[in-house]
Amino acid sequence: MAAVLEIQGLSVGYGRKGLALDNVSMAVPQGGIVALLGANGAGKTTLIRAVTGLLGLHHGQITSGAVRYAGQSIVGLPSHRLVRMGMGQVPEGRLIFKQLSVEDNLLVGAAILPRAKVAEGLASVYALFPRLLERRQQAAGWLSGGEQQMLALGRALIGRPQLLLVDELSLGLAPLIVKQIYQQLRVVGDTLGTAMLVVEQNAHLALQFASSAYLINRGQIVFSGTAAEVAASPAMAESYLGGKRTQAPPAAPAEAGDAAKEMLS
């Protein structure tokens, strides 16, 4: 299957601090869901910054390698242009506009849509996350952490991106809320064919959601394969789980998110 995102030999540095990424290669296939796993400081967020055009804001630079989106080199392109090309991002920490209403936050994401498509975009997000519809006139800063994450996702999804990058979705959220959000993301993948690169510290959760995964440690990819292969790998046990082996995750239930699928159909 053709790759919507292809990274080849990517190295990234932050001034005199040395390389944060060293010769990293990976790919996200069209319509595929890929997890990028690793501990704090492994290089996950640096990779996201390099892909989304935000590396310069953090005083980093690509020293070698290539990044291609839909077959086109995107090294050096600004983030707003990448959004218009069909790339959506949910950053770590959500970064919503807390003083604006829920709907106004979504309208920021809808700025790339033709005016005639904005209402349709809002309706699709509200179908996916009904709680946002209930709170659409409320200031975003008053939402719970889970609702703010839904809002950040909705803002990224309203433009129907071809590729969605999600950075630490589960951070600071209750397990039940995280499970519900991941179920809705599966609906997005199944219904719209959106490819996803999911960055997670919660390996067990990510491997239940993704079909394949890459394990990064100290700026290098140390293992890759299917979710089951990565979960059972010695590299996972040694570098991520402190030597404890983990079993391959169970398959997600086929009926997950059926109600939301009906709402989107």
> Are 146 and 22 members of one domain?
no
260, pLDDT greater than 80: no
Structure confidence at residue 41 as a pLDDT band (50, 70, 90): confident
From 135, 159, 183, give the residue that closes a domain.
Answer: 159
Both 192 and 78 in one domain: the answer is: yes
pLDDT of residue 151 exceeding 60, the answer is yes
Burial class (CB in 10 A: 0-12, 13-18, 19+), 264: middle
34-54 average pLDDT score: 90
What integer pLDDT is reported at residue 66 of this predicted model?
Answer: 95
Domain with 30 in it: what CATH number? 3.40.50.300
Domain that holds residue 232: 3-86+161-264
Taking residues 198-223, what's their average pLDDT?
A: 89
What pLDDT is attached to residue 239? 63
Domain count, the chain: 2
> Could you give phi then psi for residue 99, rounded to 5 degrees?
-80, -20
What's the DSSP call for residue 113? S
Kindly state the tokens that stand for 61: 């630079």
Band of pLDDT at residue 30, cut at 50, 70 and 90: very high
Assess whether 152 and 249 both reside in one domain.
Answer: no
Tell me which of 142, 159, 176 is where a domain ends: 159
Average pLDDT, the chain: 84
pLDDT recorded at residue 253:
40
132, 166: one domain: no
170 and 256 inside one domain? yes
Domain-ending residue, one of 159, 183, 208: 159
For the segment 158-184, the average pLDDT, to the nearest whole number, is 86
Give the DSSP H or E segment for 206: helix 203-209
Return the bridge partners of 13, or none. Answer: 19, 61
Residues 136 and 207 in one domain: no
Q: How confident is the model at residue 245 (pLDDT cuts 50, 70, 90)?
A: very low
CB 13 within 8 A of CB 27: no
User: Are residues 143 and 179 located together in one domain of the fold?
Assistant: no
Per-range mean pLDDT, top range of 18-22, 27-31, 42-46, 176-180: 27-31
Q: Looking at the structure, tell me whether residues 38 and 140 fall in a common domain.
A: no
- pLDDT, one tens digit per residue, over 118-147 is 999 999 999 999 999 999 999 988 888 888
Same domain, 206 and 115: no
Q: Do 112 and 77 share a structural domain?
A: no
177 with 247, same domain? yes
Of all residues in the chain, what percent carry a pLDDT higher than 70? 89
- My answer on whether 143 and 168 are in the same domain is no
